[in-house]
Amino acid sequence: MLIENKQELKNVLNGKIILLTGAGGGIGFEAAKAFAYMGAKIIIAEISKEKGEFAENAINAMYDMPPVKFYDIDLTDEKQMNNMVDYIIKTYGCPDVIFNNATITKMGAIDEVDSSFWDKSYAVNLKAPLLLTQKFLSLMKQRDSGTIVFISSSGASPYMGAYEVFKTAQVELCNTLAMELENRNIFTFTIGPGLVKTETAMRSIEIVAESMGMSTADFYAMNSQHILDVESAGVGFALSVLNAKIYHGQEVGSIQVLMDYKLLENDDILPKRQNINLDDSSIQIIQKHTAKILETFEEQYNGWRNMNVFERQWVLRDFKKVMSLSAEQALDKLKSINKNMQSGNLAVVSTEKAFFIKLTEYWKRQLKLLQGYEKNKDKLNENTQIINGWIMDINHVLIQTGVVENL
């Protein structure tokens, strides 16, 4: 197993109770294996008896003290859920971790997906995580410890509405919960697996790619920097729990977690340095502008965190709407880009072209908003120059590395 490359993680979760939904196969199954390696006891809540029993038997066969218990449940049935909660509390006590991995998907245009499936998607992809949170949170509060993990996706995407709408709602549920849990030792975050070639995902991608008028090969090529194998994605899920306090209130991805634990390096997901015909002086200037972009955004991000809770949430939602990723993810991405650039890997600019262009759009949006609310002419001119400077830093990096000719 990939996680065995980190011997120091063996039994690090010794005795912890993990409720892991939808782990009969795929990413959830690999996460369960990783949790077992780390010494946890895992309750796999799975609708497929065949898959659930397979997961239980396969993982337990690896250990002298069987760590996995399969619980047969349809998460859309609240009565079944209440029975499961009662069983878990009586048998194990309150879980240390609730990992909301279960999901169902159906691809298609909004007007083509039957409303009955929207209802079912809501029940599995949003209502079930909400109910599990409600049923265990009071017990977590009593002991002042616990972790609740939600699973996010890429956000609004064409032909994926019946799935993405409720996955996006999980992020907002997590953000709300994180604010309510301030000053407690209960942590919550969302994690996305990235693009993983599970059987379900590949069937879905075929539909999405066809709807977008492209081949599946072109779709995967377009998203090549975000693809993980199933085991890696599952290990990332499991390891994220160890950093729950750090990730609290954030939206992270398996790639980020694996990199945090040195199980994935930048070179594994980024192209090698291109032969860009620039002299050392030009490269140093580009590196300087890249560092300035990171410095600017980090200052802006820290300013947002110091806002009052309602203003902060409005700003962060607006940022995610424009950027299609959270502010935390953007900051992590800029840190990774800057690290690559300072080491001479200028090819990362080409890889992250879309990100840079979106950040430019966001800063242009801020510039437009500034014109509407700043009435002091001197301050308006001063702040306009500052924001234009941010935009010019990005323009310089993109143009001088040959990614674009003009912006």
Give the residue from 292, 265, 401 showing the smallest Cα distance to 344.
401
**Is 101 a domain residue?**
yes
Residues 235 and 284 in one domain: no
Please report which residue ranges of 243-352 form alpha helices under DSSP H: 244-247, 254-260, 266-269, 280-305, 309-323, 327-342, 347-351
- Say what the pLDDT of residue 369 is: 87
What is the tens place of the pLDDT at every residue in 118-160?
A: 999 999 999 999 999 999 999 999 999 999 999 987 655 677 7
Tokens 């080409």, located at residue: 350
- Say what the pLDDT of residue 316 is: 87
Dihedrals phi, psi of 61, to nearest 5 degrees? -65, -15
**Is 128 a domain residue?**
yes
Residues 201 and 292 in one domain: no
- Say what the pLDDT of residue 207 is: 54
Residues 178 and 61 in one domain: yes
Residues 237 and 195 in one domain: yes
Residues 371 and 250 in one domain: no
Residues 275 and 246 in one domain: no
Given 236, 260, 284, the domain boundary residue is 260
Residues 216 and 311 in one domain: no
Cα(94)–Cα(115) distance, rounded to whole angstroms? 35
**Is 310 a domain residue?**
yes
Given 260, 293, 317, the domain boundary residue is 260
pTM, rounded to two decimals? 0.69
Residues 326 and 249 in one domain: no
| 267, 225 Cβ separation under 8 angstroms | no
**Is 265 a domain residue?**
no
Residues 237 and 307 in one domain: no
Residues 129 and 220 in one domain: yes
Residues 254 and 366 in one domain: no
Residues 378 and 244 in one domain: no
For the domain that residue 252 is a member of, what is the CATH number? 3.40.50.720
- Say what the pLDDT of residue 272 is: 41
In sequence order, what DSSP letters do the residues of 100-161 get, joined into one string? --------S-TTTS-HHHHHHHHIIIIIHHHHHHHHHHHHHHHHT-EEEEEE--SSS-TT-H
**Is 405 a domain residue?**
no
- Say what the pLDDT of residue 344 is: 87
pLDDT along the chain (407 residues), means of 10: 92 97 95 98 97 97 95 97 98 98 87 91 96 98 97 73 88 91 94 70 54 57 63 95 91 86 64 56 91 95 89 85 84 92 88 89 90 86 92 91 71
How many structural domains are present in the chain? 2
**Is 266 a domain residue?**
no
**Is 173 a domain residue?**
yes
Q: Give residues with Cβ within 8 angstroms of 83, minimum separation 6.
A: none
Domain that holds residue 350: 271-400
**Is 316 a domain residue?**
yes
Tokens 């009593």, located at residue: 142
- Say what the pLDDT of residue 274 is: 45
In sequence order, what DSSP letters do the residues of 80-117 get, joined into one string? HHHHHHHHHHHHT-S-SEEE--------S-TTTS-HHH
- Say what the pLDDT of residue 125 is: 94
- Say what the pLDDT of residue 372 is: 83
